A and B are shown apart, each in its own frame.
Chain A
Amino acid sequence: MAQIFHPSTNTISRVSLFSVLFLIALLLWLLAEFQRSSYITEANVEREQPVQFSHKHHVADDGIDCRYCHTSVETSAFAGIPPTKTCMNCHSQIFRDSPYLEPVRESFRTGKPVEWTRVHQLADFVYFDHSIHVNKGVGCATCHGRVDEMPLIRQVASLQMEWCLDCHREPELYLRPHDQVFDMAWQPPSDQLEQGSRLAKLYKIRSVEELTSCSTCHR
């Protein structure tokens, strides 16, 4: 009686077994990468806003400090979105006829706030506080990128937990001196590891065990 299976089926069966494993792994990897993509994280997506506000113009061209508008960044969890009055500090006279600024003027007239579209939206189960970060030497640009080069604001980081942990595991790679925190153009020095470790000690940054403990961020 002739053999039912040709000897080559041995190879085919092995190849197909491994192919299935490979395909499953590929699918898992694709899912993980999709989860990290800007389709999910909305990183680098510019939002439609009621006013075409340019951070590039106000920060880079005019030299206005972040804290002029985001007044509470050093003292509270929320950096603060400026009230319309802050816009009108200058725009009561500058560009006061510009149609682009009509929503701002309308808000000032009626007292109804401008409804900006939120860009950085953390999940509600994350406890995050701006003040502790800027007071411990984490620069604005470390998380928000070169805002002074963004005509329209966008989020540059994924804001996913693995991204937070990048820094909470090795803060010395990112820390900078207090007086450089609001400097958009700051670049780490060549001996950043050494400087960062020094600053971590100076600013009493907690141990990596504490920084990566669940309840540090999930309270």
Chain B
Amino acid sequence: MADQPKYNPLTASTFFDDGRSARPLVVGTVPRGSLAEDNLNVPKDADTFPVPVTRELLARGRERFNIYCSVCHGLLGDGNGMVPRRGFRQPPSYHIDRLREAPVGHFYDVITNSFGAMPDYAAQVPPRDRWAIIAYIRALQFSQHAPLAELPAEDRARLGAGGPR
């Protein structure tokens, strides 16, 4: 009863040659259901979001960014995460001109397929969450270059008074 003849996730198998009960994908096949969101896979140079950018999407993006991206890119997106401090190659800041001008498709491509020292996050971040993260990256970029005139009067007063940032 307590030990039934069935596979729990990742239990070893004596049936398959490689000892794995969790079977790797057969080469050349596509998992059922994985094309349902194929419209989210855009070309590198696309510069429009394939999903509506809502407050919920941004909130989701912040949460996912803080889990998967901030370890290297830092909570602010300036590239000062904990992992580069431990010796990983430091990623560029999102706030440089090249990345501020990069189309959203570029970010999607990097998350999906890796770039430079950065590995791909295709297995850890599903397509919809990638777009949530990209929306949040755009918000981070804006946060560091927001024109003074667009700030609410309250925040402008705080800036003038040299109050808490």
Q: What 0/1 pattern do residues 4 to 25 of B give for CB contact below 8 A with A? A: 1010111010000010100000
Closest to B124 in A: A71
Closest to A69 in B: B124
Instruction: Say yes or no: A65 contacts B67, CB within 8 Å.
Output: yes
Cβ of B2: which chain A residues have Cβ within 8 Å of it? 123-125
Cβ of A133: which chain B residues have Cβ within 8 Å of it? none
Q: What 0/1 pattern do residues 56 to 86 of A give for CB contact below 8 A with B? A: 0000001111011001000001100101011
Q: Is B83 an interface residue (CB 8 A)?
A: yes
Instruction: Say yes or no: B8 contacts A85, CB within 8 Å.
Output: no
Tell me the smallest distance from the CB of A183 to a CB of chain B, in Å: 12
Cβ of B20: which chain A residues have Cβ within 8 Å of it? 113
Tell me the smallest distance from the CB of B130 to a CB of chain A, in Å: 14
Instruction: Say yes or no: A125 contacts B87, CB within 8 Å.
Output: no
Complex Cα distance, B8 from A125, in Å, reads 12
Within 8 A of B (CB), among A15-55: none
Cβ of B71: which chain A residues have Cβ within 8 Å of it? 62-64, 68, 90
Tell me the smallest distance from the CB of B18 to a CB of chain A, in Å: 7
Report whether over half of chain A's contact residues are helix, strand or loop; otherwise say mixed: loop
Q: Is B30 an interface residue (CB 8 A)?
A: no
Within 8 A of A (CB), among B2-55: 2-4, 6, 8-10, 12, 18, 20
Cβ of B142: which chain A residues have Cβ within 8 Å of it? none
Q: Is B161 an interface residue (CB 8 A)?
A: no
Cβ of B88: which chain A residues have Cβ within 8 Å of it? 90, 93-94
Tell me the smallest distance from the CB of B61 to a CB of chain A, in Å: 14
Cβ of A71: which chain B residues have Cβ within 8 Å of it? 123-124
Q: Name 30 interchain pairs, CB-CB below 8 A, sorted by A.
A: A62-B83, A62-B86, A63-B82, A65-B66, A65-B67, A68-B68, A68-B71, A68-B124, A77-B9, A78-B9, A81-B10, A83-B123, A86-B123, A86-B124, A88-B119, A89-B119, A90-B86, A92-B119, A93-B88, A94-B83, A94-B86, A94-B87, A113-B10, A113-B20, A123-B1, A123-B2, A124-B2, A124-B4, A124-B6, A125-B1
Given contacts A68-B67, A112-B18, A115-B12, 7 further A-B contacts (CB under 8 A): A64-B71, A68-B71, A71-B124, A86-B124, A94-B86, A123-B2, A124-B2
In the A-B complex, the 6 residue pairs with the smallest Cβ-Cβ separation, listed nearest first, are A123-B2, A124-B4, A78-B9, A65-B67, A89-B119, A93-B88
